[in-house]
């Protein structure tokens, strides 16, 4: 039997004390029942121990026999809806592509990680990414096996959380160069730009332009 979501492990509104945490990471649930977990319980525990607030949408682990309460045992907080998680997080993870509505609710300078097939992008969606100066990483651009996803996502998250200047990290990490399709609001993937009908810029040029 699959576990129920939980017996309300988080009953009160979550308030993030920015003096106590280094960053806030949000994980959104996907409708795809075959969607893998992007981080393991051990990854979540390690992040929590490193003063990263981890917010998880209720029901994220149901298809993997992981209850909401189990996530709280490893240091995460559970929230009912995805939009408050987006509002509170610096980095937002979702296996499935972000919807137009979710992109609309992103806040300025956030980083998002998900599948990002170029054909889903519309001009309106890209406008939101540009206006909010979003940095976005597409798992599908990394050409990795499904069994590698958790470790790769953990690497990306660890780098992003520790980053003092993302430009420096982009230069040193090939994963970023392969996966980023939007850097600080600039579309840097040709296929995404063509589907959305917008210009694109080369990520290498963006990274090495220090002006």
The verdict on pTM exceeding 0.85 is yes
> How crowded is residue 140: how many other Cβ atoms within 10 Å of its Cβ?
14
pLDDT of residue 15: 57
Residue 10 has pLDDT above 70, yes or no: no
Cβ contacts of 174 within 8 Å, gap of 6 or more = none
In whole angstroms, give the CA distance from residue 161 to residue 35: 24
pLDDT of residue 175: 76
Tens of pLDDT, residues 93-148: 999 999 999 999 999 999 999 999 999 999 999 999 999 999 999 999 998 888 89
The mean per-residue pLDDT over the stretch 189-195 comes to: 97
In whole angstroms, give the CA distance from residue 193 to residue 189: 6
Strands of the 135-138 sheet, one edge to the other? 77-79, 52-57, 23-27, 91-93, 111-114, 135-138, 180-183, 186-187
Quickly state the pLDDT bin for 204 (edges 50, 70, 90). Answer: confident
Tens of pLDDT, residues 150-169: 999 999 999 899 877 777 77
The DSSP secondary-structure symbol of 18 reads T
pLDDT of residue 162: 85
pLDDT of residue 98: 96
Tens of pLDDT, residues 37-60: 999 999 999 999 999 999 999 999
- Look at residue 193 and give its three-state secondary structure: helix
The angle at the Cα of 152, spanning 146 to 158, to the nearest 5 degrees, equals 150
To the nearest whole number, what is the mean pLDDT of the chain? 88
pLDDT of residue 3: 45
Full set of structural domains in the chain with CATH: 1-96 (3.40.50.720), 113-211 (3.40.50.720)
In whole angstroms, give the CA distance from residue 114 to residue 133: 17
For residue 12, list its beta bridge partners.
none
**End-to-end alpha-carbon separation of the chain, Å?**
57
């Amino acid at each position: 039997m699959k576990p129920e979501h939980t017996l309300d492990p988080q009953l009160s509104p979550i308030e993030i004390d920015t003096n106590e945490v280094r960053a806030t990471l949000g994980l959104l649930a996907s409708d795809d029942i075959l969607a893998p977990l992007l981080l393991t319980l051990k990854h979540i525990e390690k992040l929590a121990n490193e003063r990263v607030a981890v917010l998880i949408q209720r029901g994220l682990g149901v298809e993997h026999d992981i209850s909401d309460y189990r996530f709280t045992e490893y240091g995460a907080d559970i929230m009912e809806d995805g939009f408050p998680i987006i509002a509170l997080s610096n980095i937002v993870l979702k296996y499935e592509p972000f919807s137009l509505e979710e992109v609309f609710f992103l806040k300025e300078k956030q980083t998002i990680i998900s599948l990002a097939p170029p054909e889903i992008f519309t001009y309106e969606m890209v406008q939101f990414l540009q206006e909010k100066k979003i940095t976005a990483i597409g798992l599908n651009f990394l050409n990795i096996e499904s069994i590698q996803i958790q470790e790769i996502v953990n690497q990306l998250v660890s780098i992003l959380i520790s980053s003092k200047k993302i430009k420096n990290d982009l230069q040193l990490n090939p994963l970023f160069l392969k996966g980023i399709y939007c850097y600080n609001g600039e579309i840097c993937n040709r296929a995404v730009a063509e589907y959305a009908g917008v210009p694109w810029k080369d990520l290498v040029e963006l990274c090495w332009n220090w002006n």
